[in-house]
Amino acid sequence: MNKIGIHFGYFNTDWNTDFIRQIGQIKRIGLDILEVAPAPLLALTKKERDAIAETAKENGITLTFSVGLGADQDLASEDENVRNRGIKFTLDTFKIMSEMGANMYSGVDIGAWNQPFTTGVVDKSAVIQRSVNSVKEIMKAAGALGITFAVEVVNRYESSLVNTAKEAMAYVDMVDSPNCKILLDTYHMNIEEDSFADAIRLVGGRLGHFHVGESNRRPPARNGRMPWDEITGALKEIHYQGAVVMEPFIKMGGEVGRDIKVWRDISQDASPEEMEQLVKNAAAMLREKLG
């Protein structure tokens, strides 16, 4: 049975949060995974991180890590100093992941997030190669620590490097590491792929992580627009046993609303209790269809 989780940003307006409180919230809702971001955790002391890890363990909650690298950490940058900062940030994250008992690292992790090309480009091979070279360095630590590095397939408005499952397959081939997998996300797939099922089948055994949400980033819903029977059917067809993590963002305001570009109240003025109920309903639907 696939573990079901949610990105911590769903409940927050800013990236810094009380992770211990959120672990309790996730437990109460009935989820298995809390997906967290590295930067807020790197800003804490080791003692504070240890307390979060222990709370997660006591509550049976798995922690997975998802990143959006900044422009000053771009692994594909022409500037070697920028690339090195990105490598160091990733390796620092791996260190705290290992200490906290986490082994899944994903997100916009091969280049800068929200930094697509600003000029007309017809050949991105040099940019891809710089990114691959950086990730190859990172894979040495990933292998030693048993961490899966999942390359997220992201829409054209948030990244220029890997926009489709086909491009991700080629990228992972270039990295050539058993620890380098692929993350597919239904929100991005809805924009870029011709077929949800075909993209999932293409990736097959290289699918390391899976994000779900509606086309407007609401939590998955029975009455939503996404073809959940097709999506979950393809996951079962390839015998995907990994995590299925919701990544909905539906509230305006703060750092989260700004960075995710939520310019209207997609929640329709939902209360905290209603926000939780949306997630409970989504988890029940996903478990039913994946069962």
The residues annotated as belonging to the active site are 152, 247
pTM greater than 0.95 (yes/no): yes
Question: What are the distances in angstroms from CA 131 to CA 117, 151, 159, 275?
Answer: 14, 11, 13, 38
Token pair 């997100």 is at which residue? 107
Burial (CB count within 10 angstroms: exposed 0-12, middle 13-18, buried 19+), residue 192? middle
- C-alpha to C-alpha distance for 206 and 175, rounded to whole angstroms: 13
Please return the burial class of 10, using the count of CB atoms within 10 Å of its CB with bins 0-12, 13-18 and 19+. buried
Give the containing element (helix H, strand E) for 88.
helix 80-100
How far apart, in Å, do the first and last CA atoms of the chain sit?
7
Each residue's pLDDT expressed in tens, for the chain with a length of 291 residues: 899 999 999 999 899 899 999 999 999 999 999 999 999 999 999 999 999 999 999 999 999 999 999 999 999 999 999 999 999 999 999 999 999 999 999 999 999 999 999 899 999 999 999 999 999 999 999 999 999 999 999 999 999 999 999 999 999 999 999 999 999 999 999 999 999 999 999 999 999 999 999 999 999 999 999 999 999 999 999 999 999 999 999 999 999 999 999 999 999 999 999 999 999 999 999 999 999
